[in-house]
Amino acid sequence: MPSRSDITYFGAGPALLPSEILEDAAGALLNYNATGLGIAEHSHRSQLAADIINQAKADLASCLDIPDDYEILFMQGGGTGEFSATVYNFVGAWVARKHKEIFGDVEGDAADRPELMQQLKQAVENDLKIDYLVTGGWSQKASAEGERLLGPKHINIATDARKANGGKFGTIPDESTWNLSKDAALVYYCDNETVDGVEFPAFPKSLEPRPDGTGPIVVADMSSNILTRKIPVKNFSAIFFGAQKNLGVTGITVVVIKKSFLPPTTRQPPAALMRDLCLPVPPIIFQYEAIAKNNSLYNTLSIFDVYIAGQVLKKLLRTYANKAEGQQAVTDKKAQLIYDAVEAFPEIYKVIPGKETRSRINICFRVTKGGDVDAAEKAFLQESTAQGLTGLKGHRSLGGIRASNYNSIPLEGAEKLASFIRAFATS
C-alpha cells in the first residue's frame, strides 16, 4: 500500500491538504490548546470559537488585501447553496433600493399606499433582472437555480459560451458581445470552471466600477481559484468560495461581501413585502444580514473547519511575504510546466479549452495516442496511478484528463506530472 508521501493527488476536490496541517489538526481534535477537549467538542458560542473565527477572518483579509468596507462570513451549504443565497440577498437589496426610490421616506405599511405599491410591483415585473455569464457547467447550474427561484423572465443570460463554440464550453465570448442589463440586481460569473478548464484571465473590463464608484453589482464564484492569484476585491460586491479546494476541508463556504449590502446601509425587505411581490424569501441561514450580525454564528458552525482554514492561511502568510502574489507565481509556473509538456506533443495530446482562457487551475486535455482515445486515456490513467500521480480522470460529463493544480500541489508534483506526460508520449 502506498504511503501519503508516495502520492501526488490531482483530484478536483476535495483537494489535497498539506500534511503538516493535518498532523496539527489531528492533535487539535484530541486536545486543543491543553484544554482537555478536542476542538470539535468546544462550544461554538465559546470565546475560543470566536477567537478562531476572528483570526481566520483577519488572516484571510491579509492574504487577499480585503478592504475594511467588506465583511467576511463563514457559511454552510457550499457553492451550490450560494447560487441560491446570492439570488435571495441581492434581489432583496434591489427591492430595498426600488422601495426607497418609489416610497421615499414615507412611513407606515406599504398597503396604506396602494398606488406606490403598484409602482413597485410594476418595477419588479418589468425591470428586475439577474445577469449570468455562462461559461461552463457551474455557471450554467447557477443560472438554472436563479431561474428556478425567480422564473425565466427575471433571468438574463448575458452570454453563453456554447453559442460561440459549436455548442460546447471551452471559451469565453468577447465582452463586446455580452448583453448586460441596465440595472441588474447582480451580474454573476464563475471565475474558474473546474469541469471545463476555463478561467477568466482577469476581471472583465465591462464590469469595472466607474470613476464615480457606481457600476454593475458583480458577484463571483471563486471556489476553485481563490488564493491562487491577487484579485481586485474592490471591484466585486461579493465573492464566495467553498473551502475544499485551496482553503481547507469540505464543510464551510466563505462569503466576502461589501458592507453597503448589510445593515445599517441596506436591510432585507420584510418577508411580507417579498411575498406581496411574489418573490422568494430566503431561509434565515442563507440571509447575509443574519449571518453578519452574529459573526457567522447564527447556527452551529463547524469551528474545526474554520480552524483548518485558518491554519492554511497562516501557512500561506508564512511562505510568501507578498501573500497571494507569491502563490500566484508558483501556480503559474506549475501550470506552465504541465501545459508545455502537453503542447510539446500535439499528435498525442489535445488541450480542450482555447488558449486565451484556459485555466491555470484545472488543466483539461485529451489523449489521442494510437487513434483510440478511450484506450489511450485508460492507459494514461493506469500508468500515472502506478507512478503515484492520482486523481487525473476528467469529469464524468466531459471525460479526458484533468490535472487540478491547487495550492497544495508542490512544484515537484507538477514537475513529476510533466515528466510523465512527456515519457508517456514517447513510450
Backbone angles phi, psi at 8, to 5 degrees: -115, 115
pLDDT in tens, 257-277: 999 999 999 999 999 999 999
Residue indicated by cell numbers 471556489: 223
pLDDT(284) > 90: yes
Extract the runs of DSSP E, i.e. beta strands, from 281-382.
349-351, 362-367
Greatest mean pLDDT among 5-9, 114-118, 150-154: 150-154
Q: How large is the C-alpha radius of gyration of the chain?
A: 23
Task: Tally the residues of the chain.
Answer: 427
Residue range 92-116: average pLDDT? Answer: 85
- What rounded mean pLDDT belongs to the chain? 96
Give me the pLDDT at residue 239, please: 98
Strands 198-199 and 192-193: antiparallel
pLDDT of residue 109: 61
Residue 29 and residue 260: Cα distance in Å, rounded?
38
Closest CA to 192 of 232, 147, 233, 241: 241
| Residue-range domains of the chain with CATH | 6-15+323-426 (3.90.1150.10), 51-306 (3.40.640.10)
For 322-362, the pLDDT digits (tens) are 999 999 999 999 999 999 999 999 999 999 999 999 999 99
| pLDDT above 70 coverage of the chain, percent | 99
Using CA atoms, how far residue 89 sits from 267, 274, 288, 375, in Å, is 10, 12, 7, 48
Which one, of 416, 412, 427, lies nearest residue 392 by Cα? 416
pLDDT of 105 above 80: no
How far apart CA 38 and CA 42 sit, in angstroms, is: 7
Confidence of residue 7 (pLDDT cuts 50, 70, 90): very high
Handedness of CA 353, 354, 355, 358 (dihedral sign): negative
DSSP 129-156: -EEEEE-SHHHHHHHHHHHHHH-GGGEE
Let me know: does 217 contact 228? Beta carbons within 8 Å: no
- pLDDT value of residue 107: 59
Grade residue 110 by pLDDT with cuts at 50, 70 and 90.
Answer: low
CA distance 321 to 327: 10
Enter the C-alpha cell of residue 21.
496541517
Other CB atoms within a 10 A radius of the CB of residue 283 amount to 13
Q: How far is CA 415 from CA 5, 17, 328, 348, 412, in A?
A: 16, 19, 17, 19, 5
Return all residues near 269 (Cβ < 8 A) that are at least 6 apart: 92, 95, 96, 99
Please report which confidence band the pLDDT of residue 198 belongs to, taking 50, 70 and 90 as the band edges.
very high
pLDDT in tens, 38-70: 999 999 999 999 999 999 999 999 999 999 999
Backbone phi, psi, residue 194, to 5°: -65, -35
**DSSP for 377-414, written as a single string:** HHHHHHHHHHTTEE--BPPTTT-SEEEE--TTS-HHHH
Give the global pTM: 0.96
Question: Measured between alpha carbons, how far is 229 from 331 in angstroms, rounded to an integer?
Answer: 8
364 phi, psi to nearest 5 deg: -110, 130
pLDDT band at 370 (very low <50, low <70, confident <90, very high): confident
Query: How far apart are the C-alpha atoms of 79 and 96, rounded to whole Å?
Result: 25
Q: What is the DSSP letter of 293?
A: H
Q: Which residues lie closer than 8 Å to 325 by C-beta, 6 or more apart? A: 229, 230
Cell numbers at 54, concatenated: 476572528
CA distance 263 to 96: 12
Please state which of the ranges 102-111, 225-234, 355-364 shows the lowest mean pLDDT.
102-111
- What is the average per-residue pLDDT within 407-419? 97
pLDDT attached to residue 112: 75
Dist CA 73 CA 53 (whole Å): 9
Please identify which residue in the block is written with the cell numbers 457600476.
215
CB 60 within 8 A of CB 72: yes
